[in-house]
Structure 1
Amino acid sequence: MNEFLANKLIWIPFTASLIAQILKMFYYWRKNHKINLRHLTEAGGMPSSHSALVSSLATVIGIKEGLNSSLFAVTIIFAFIVMYDAAGVRQAAGKQAKVLNKIINELSHKYYFREEHLRELIGHTPVEVIAGCFLGILVSLILMKY
């Protein structure tokens, strides 16, 4: 268990993700002047913690194994898939949820609906993904020195 906990290649990416989640809470506090602790666990928003995690993972693997290694190739492709999904598929799902919630709200005035509202903030804008990516790289470069 000590070897697992001492493995930088595991805890550095999770640290980058945690920092992104904390920054997300402060970003929304600054924007809305309210503290919402849900931002520590929710998906979506600025910066992308998923992007921070996978870009950090690719960075630490690149530093440890080399940029020409097979493992780095796998992690960089994995990172691009996750970031594409966050900005593409999940953002589209969030937009669809917003439209469906609007339809449910309009119909609920005429008909009885027991449907819960769908979560609308589940994806990321490209800026949120890029910010998370740069955060993950930066955290990895700093923490791999120690």
Structure 2
Amino acid sequence: MVYKYALMPIVAWFAAGTLKFMVNYIRFQKQAVNLIGNGGFPSTHSTIMSSTVFLIGLSEGLSSPIFGLGVAVLMITVIDALGIRRAVGKQAKAINRYMVSGQHSEPVLRERQGHSPVEVLGGLSLGLLLAYLFHQI
């Protein structure tokens, strides 16, 4: 497949988004539409990056320089999802509590920003599965 590296992130984004919506629909029913975006299972960012990096590793070899670079960027993505973005979500929750106790009647900031380790692991696993399937085509 000529465009496999360009298509992989798009397929991964669609697969992770679809799975995330299905999980949210099972857990929260009609509120699932409001939960579209950052946060949740699986991590879309982790799925997109890992699928592309794993596809490179499977196709070009684990010793290729581009695979090593991909692993480094994937690590930054995972650290960001688990750390910085998760902290932003916690701050938004605290600010929303403060705002609700003041003059605003409903939360203003989106609280679901980062991911739990399970959500990131789900994204990494989905990425590996998608890369393997793409590599077989």
Alpha-carbon displacement from aligned partner over 1:69-124 (angstroms, at most 9, x marks no partner): 1100000110010011011110010000000000011121xxxx699711100111
- Identify the residue that residue 52 of structure 1 maps to in structure 2: 47
Q: Is the aligned partner of 1:32 residue 2:28?
A: yes
- Identify the residue that residue 76 of structure 1 maps to in structure 2: 71
Partner-residue secondary structure (3-state), 1:36: helix
> Does the Cα contact within 8 Å between 1:17 and 1:136 map onto a contact in 2?
no
Residue type at the aligned position of 1:36: A
Cα RMSD after superposing both structures: 2.1
Residue type at the aligned position of 1:60: L
* 1:43 Cα deviation after fit: 1.4
- Identify the residue that residue 12 of structure 1 maps to in structure 2: 8
Partner-residue secondary structure (3-state), 2:30: coil
Q: Is the aligned partner of 1:96 residue 2:91?
A: yes
Distance 2:35 2:88 in 1: 19
Structure 2 unaligned spans of 5+: none
Normalised TM-score (structure 1): 0.86
Larger radius of gyration, structure 1 or 2?
1
Residue type at the aligned position of 1:23: L
Distance 1:70 1:126 in 2: 28
- Identify the residue that residue 65 of structure 1 maps to in structure 2: 60
- Identify the residue that residue 126 of structure 1 maps to in structure 2: 117
Q: Is the aligned partner of 1:143 residue 2:134?
A: yes
Structure 1 unaligned spans of 5+: none
Task: Extract structure 1 runs of 4+ deviating beyond 4 A.
Answer: 113-116
Q: CA 1:128 to 1:141, structure 2 compared with 1: closer, same or farther past 3 Å?
A: same
Distance 1:75 1:68 in 2: 12
